[in-house]
Amino acid sequence: MRARTITAVLPLVLILSLLAIGCAPAAAPDGGGTTPTAPAAEAIEWKLQTFYPTADPAYGAMEGVAARIEETSGGRLTIECFPGGSIVPTQKELESLNQDVFEAAYVSHGWHTSFFPASFLFAQRAGGLTPIQAMTWLRLGGGDEVCAEMYAPMTGVKYLSTMTIHPPEVWCHSNRQLKSMADFKGLKIRSPGDSGAILSLMGASSVSIAGAEIYESAQRGVIDATEYITQATNWDMGFQEVFKYMYMSPTRAPSDSIGLFASSKAWNALPADIQAIVMACAHEETLRWYAWSLNADSIALQKFKDYGTIVEPIPADIDAAMIAAAKEYFTKKAAGDAMFAKVMASQDAWKAMCEAQGPWAT
């Protein structure tokens, strides 16, 4: 019985197989490529403007992230990076993104205080979160959520991630020796936004210019000093050539965070898997960049010393005055801005939780 059943079924199987072969799309002449029923995914091209000059290592970091996104997506998303000011003027990145001038931007939260006063707290808050505290607060302590809430009113912009978090910044580079607060009075220091406002409260004359303009401004005597990022970045920017002194302390900017943003329109057009790839690559960069920075900053600090830069701690009275001025400034801002108060409260609660556990969590 079983043999007869198999014999009867075989012709039917053969007919169905022939029909299947006849319905299958023909292979490409060379035996490769795609078929009409399985077209290749269309490649998506983005333009991204940073606020960094090409000399800044963080510009190279963004290029590296773009390369990993392209590779991981199988070439489905390519991101062409442009340095600060090359498409639109620096400090205009967010509003240009909101107008779909380009698809993405990699820029300091601190540039956005004219739209969102609380954005400075995500950049560098004097006496605020250390790098490890900032990373953990953003990812697991509610920081990313409150940041997205802050940017939400600008409907054409999608906050993606606070991608890079620097170690504590150099307190300042200066051509004026700083021995006490008396030397700080009238200091022409490049320091934009809220940071500049705080230093002005201390008696300095703050100047708001982009990072790419610092070197020439120091050469021409437009500024006496600058706050910028960390030793490795500042060495590559050539600050050893135009500033005599480098003053160190982690209190002015215990961490400095840079955000990755997309046009809402461009972001919503991405397939979900590519969105996931972008986020994964951005989050991966956070720790990679921090580890690279720690090592590079150590090497660069020795380079500054070997070059002849005078490296000293910032005088204690200047540091103390800065902390007091920052506390007064931020308290006043929080009193008049609900979002500012919300971000401060969230950061303060996370910092207190970390510090209660001991030095390892700070």
Instruction: Convert the pLDDT of each residue in 45-95 to its tens digit.
Output: 999 999 988 988 899 999 999 999 999 999 999 999 999 999 999 889 999
Of the pLDDT bands very low, low, confident and very high (cuts 50, 70, 90), residue 203 is very high
For the chain, how many residues are written?
362
For residue 201, the model assigns a pLDDT of 94
CATH for 44-167+255-295 is 3.40.190.170
Q: Do domains 44-167+255-295 and 172-253+306-361 have the same CATH topology?
A: yes
- Each domain of the chain, given as residue ranges in start order, spans 44-167+255-295, 172-253+306-361
229-241 pLDDT per residue, tens: 899 989 999 999 9
What is the pLDDT confidence band of residue 33, given thresholds at 50, 70 and 90? Answer: very low
Give the mean pLDDT of 295-302.
97
Q: Which fold has domain 172-253+306-361?
A: D-Maltodextrin-Binding Protein; domain 2 (3.40.190)
With a cut of 90, say whether residue 358 has pLDDT above it: no
